[in-house]
Amino acid sequence: MKSQKSMQLIVIIPVIAYTILENLYDPKTAVIGGVIISAIEIIAEKILFKHVLKLAYLNFFLILALGGVSIFQDNEIWFKLFPAITSLFVGSYILFQIKRGNSVISEFMELMNTDSEQKKMIPFFEREMAYFSIWYGTLMIFVPFYFSTSVWAVMKVGGSFVLFLLHIFIRGWWLKRKGHDPVQ
């Protein structure tokens, strides 16, 4: 449960801060604010949860790198490409692990003491999560170039969850319609 709260902080706080700062100030100030908020977030996780997820560190260093490039080039697009890069990386990593016969999600499911029925669904959700991450990452390459910061923020936070649920339901329906059991 603590890690779920931590994950919510990872996703939401820097995006909200960046969006507010970008609307009130210039993009450079917004990028600097996003990087600072991401650093504060790691400190807060350490204090509140006594643990910082590796993903939070990865998140911070990617924001720092892309934020640095954005500041150096005076162009916030690099900072806004963060969700595209992370999604493409995560999707590719999961597909690579599936190809090797390893499960990324199984480790988390073991920690949560899931029953055997839930474990049967892991390969389906893992595969679909990889496909979705690649699809979503590809979509998020275009969002910063063609839409406002507000649309980008919605697509990065809430949009990703809504689109993932939609993806799972449509793929599950499609596979059942074709006579395939999505769980197997």
What are the pLDDT tens digits along the chain (184 aa)? 455 544 545 556 666 777 777 778 877 787 788 788 888 888 888 888 787 777 678 778 888 888 888 888 888 888 889 889 988 988 898 899 889 988 777 765 665 666 777 777 778 888 888 999 999 999 999 999 999 888 888 888 788 888 888 888 888 888 888 887 666 5
Q: pTM for the whole thing? A: 0.70
* Parent domain of 23: 1-79
30 & 111 share domain: no
Look at residue 171 in the predicted model and tell me its pLDDT: 83
145 & 71 share domain: no
62 & 148 share domain: no
What tokens appear for 117 in the block?
């029925």
Amino acid letter at 37?
I
Report the candidate in 25, 48, 29, 26 with the shortest Cα–Cα distance to residue 37: 29
At 69, is the secondary structure helix, strand, or coil? helix
Burial, 145: exposed, middle or buried (Cβ in 10 Å; 0-12, 13-18, 19+)?
exposed
**Domain stop point among 47, 79, 111:** 79
73 & 137 share domain: no
The domain total for the chain is 2
**Domain stop point among 79, 103, 128:** 79
* Residue 20 and residue 13 in contact, taking contact as beta carbons nearer than 8 Å: no
CA distances from 47 to 41, 44, 176 (A): 10, 5, 46
Report the candidate in 146, 143, 134, 155 with the shortest Cα–Cα distance to residue 89: 134
